[in-house]
């Protein structure tokens, strides 16, 4: 999308190249998701060296497919101190199975190892906020609630009565969108 559009896709009405790029990477044994996570980590390497960046106050926020990247990155990169995930915190079974998604959302063999809530639970005990729309048809509220409760259980296990300091969520009345009413201030407080 944007400046990453392949020249051949600039001429089409699709407006994105993620399917083409993901397919090509799969042929080489890589995934577009993995490439994006790697880029996020390299970005942290780069900005951590800037004078005006406090490396111990790095946060990640993402929406939809970007939420998936923010979630995966935060799960494996301990430098991320607070994460906000918007409109994708769900289960693979409740979102990816029933509704066709862009191929870059698929990780070959992932369900042999973990469901998405288990991956997002790797962020614990660091700060995590999940928001989802009650009317999101792409990432349905029923499976979003299931995922949120699963992740909350891991925070309960690790933090007990201190869970509220590090984990929160908001199910807003919107659809597949960023609400941000609580998420942005929550993140700001966690990175202070």
61-109: pLDDT as tens digits: 999 989 999 999 999 999 999 999 999 889 999 998 888 888 888 889 9
pLDDT at residue 140, as a whole number: 94
The whole-angstrom separation of Cα 48 and Cα 50 is: 6
Mean pLDDT of 38-51: 96
All CATH 3.40.50.1820 domain ranges of the chain, comma separated, are 31-190
Percent above pLDDT 70 for the chain? 98
pLDDT at residue 14, as a whole number: 66
Mean pLDDT of 136-164: 96
The whole-angstrom separation of Cα 66 and Cα 176 is: 13
Give 8's pLDDT tier (boundaries 50, 70, 90).
confident
What class has domain 31-190? alpha beta
17: its two tokens: 């190249």
């Amino acid at each position: 999308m944007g400046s990453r559009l392949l020249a051949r896709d600039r001429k089409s009405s699709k407006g994105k190249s993620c399917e083409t790029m993901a397919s090509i990477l799969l042929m080489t044994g890589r995934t577009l998701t993995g490439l994006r996570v790697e880029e996020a980590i390299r970005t942290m390497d780069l900005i951590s060296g800037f004078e005006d960046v406090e490396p111990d106050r790095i946060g990640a926020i993402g929406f939809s497919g970007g939420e998936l990247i923010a979630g995966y990155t935060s799960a494996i990169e301990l430098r991320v101190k607070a994460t906000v995930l918007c409109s994708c915190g769900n289960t693979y079974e409740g979102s990816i199975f029933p509704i066709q998604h862009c191929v870059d959302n698929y990780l070959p063999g992932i369900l042999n190892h973990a469901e998405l809530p288990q991956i997002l639970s790797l962020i614990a005990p660091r700060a995590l906020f999940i928001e989802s729309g009650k009317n999101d048809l792409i990432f349905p509220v029923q499976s979003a609630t299931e995922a949120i409760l699963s992740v909350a259980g891991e925070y309960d296990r690790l933090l007990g009565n201190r869970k509220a300091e590090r984990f929160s969520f908001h199910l807003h009345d919107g659809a597949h969108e960023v609400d941000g009413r609580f998420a942005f201030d929550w993140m700001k407080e966690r990175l202070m």
